[in-house]
C-alpha cells in the first residue's frame, strides 16, 4: 500500500486497528524534523491525513467508491525532538458523501502533540 509514497518516506507504520479507531506511529528523525530539530508541523499533518484517509478507505466499498481529502487542519500544542509520535484517528461523522475524522497525535509519554481534523469526500466511481 505504501511503497514509494510519502508514508514510506516518513517511516509511518500502521500499528493497530480497533472497532472505532486506526493507529499509526511515525519517527521523529531527520525525515520529519524542521531546521531547529523539532517535529515539523507538516509531518504531523501528513501523519494525520494518512490516518484519516486510510481509515475512511476502510469504511467504504472500494469497488464502488473512493475517498479523497477535502480539508485538513491541525493545532500543534507541544514540540517533540526525538523518539516516536503516535496518531489515533476516530470518526466524528461517517456519512454517505463525507467522512470527518479527529486525529490525536501524542508523544512517547502519551502527551498531546497535535490535534487534527480531516474531512474526506466519498466519491462514487464511474464504471
Catalytic residue among 16, 49, 71, 102: 49
* pLDDT given at position 29: 98
Q: What are the structural domains, with CATH classification, of the chain?
A: 6-124 (3.10.129.10)
Q: 67 Cβ partners below 8 Å, 6+ apart?
A: 53, 56, 57, 60, 99, 120, 121, 122, 123
Mark whether 110 is an active-site residue: no
- Cα 118 to Cα 104: distance, rounded to the nearest angstrom: 11
pLDDT tens readout for residues 82-98: 999 999 999 999 999 99
Can you tell me whether residue 18 is helix, strand or coil? Answer: coil
Q: Please state the pTM of the whole predicted model.
A: 0.95
Q: pLDDT band at 127, cuts 50/70/90?
A: low
pLDDT exceeds 70 at position 1: no
Q: Buried b vs exposed e over 69-93: b needs ≥16 C-beta within 10 Å? A: eeebebebeeebeeebbbbbbbbee
Amino acid at each position: 500500500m505504501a511503497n514509494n509514497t510519502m508514508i514510506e518516506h516518513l517511516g509511518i507504520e500502521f500499528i493497530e486497528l480497533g472497532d472505532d479507531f486506526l493507529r499509526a506511529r511515525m519517527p521523529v528523525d531527520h525525515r520529519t524534523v524542521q531546521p531547529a530539530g523539532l517535529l515539523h508541523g507538516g509531518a504531523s499533518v501528513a501523519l494525520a491525513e494518512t490516518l484519516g484517509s486510510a481509515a475512511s478507505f476502510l469504511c467504504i466499498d472500494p469497488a464502488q467508491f473512493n475517498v479523497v481529502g477535502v480539508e485538513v487542519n491541525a493545532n500543534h500544542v507541544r514540540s517533540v525532538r526525538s523518539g516516536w509520535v503516535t496518531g489515533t484517528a476516530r470518526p466524528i461523522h461517517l456519512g454517505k458523501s463525507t467522512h470527518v475524522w479527529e486525529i490525536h497525535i501524542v508523544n512517547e509519554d502519551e502527551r498531546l502533540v497535535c490535534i487534527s481534523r480531516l474531512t474526506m469526500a466519498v466519491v462514487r466511481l464511474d464504471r
